[in-house]
Amino acid sequence: MTTNQNTKNNTSLHIEGNLISGDYLADLITGSVKGQAPKDFDLSRTDKLADEIAMVWGEAKRLWANFRQIRSELEASSPGVSETRKFWVVPLLEYLGYQPVYKGEAEIVDGQTFAISHRAGIPLSQNSPSSSSPLSQNPPSYDNSL
């Protein structure tokens, strides 16, 4: 299923697949989805959720620009794994309120090995990262057990 939804800001989203329905997106845009108000993210009544999102997005773009600059200076033969971790992934996770901890050994799940260097140490039953995160709260309807 493909859905194009225009908002009042004349922004168009193109959705592929059926993970997010057009009806849900329309409800989200109109603000009628439960758990999407500023208070649901521990913001004061005067804080605007859009401003908070813009601030976090701006910081993510700054981190990305810094990482791209560093990546452009690498030799073509370098995979850049350490640089990606050090200048993009870990800083982004920290900014989002996670505290990734280095763990040297690979993760083994159902007999398959995954080379994951850092863990957040947060059980899936806990909805949010640290309270110092700019967006430290998941909406009440958020279910990360899927």
Contact predicate 81/63, CB 8 Å: no
For residue 119, tell me if it sits in a domain: no
Contact predicate 128/142, CB 8 Å: no
For residue 22, tell me if it sits in a domain: yes
Q: Which domain holds residue 29?
A: 1-33
Write phi, then psi, for 19 (nearest 5 degrees).
-70, -40
For residue 12, tell me if it sits in a domain: yes
Using the predicted structure, report yes or no on whether residue 41 has a pLDDT greater than 90.
no
What sign for the dihedral angle of Cα 61, 62, 63, 69? positive
Rounded CA-CA distance 118/89 in Å is 10
49-59 per-position pLDDT tens digit: 888 889 989 99
> How many structural domains comprise the chain?
1
Rounded CA-CA distance 134/52 in Å is 7
pLDDT number for residue 58: 94
Q: Is the pTM of this model over 0.75?
A: no
For residue 129, tell me if it sits in a domain: no
Rounded CA-CA distance 90/81 in Å is 12
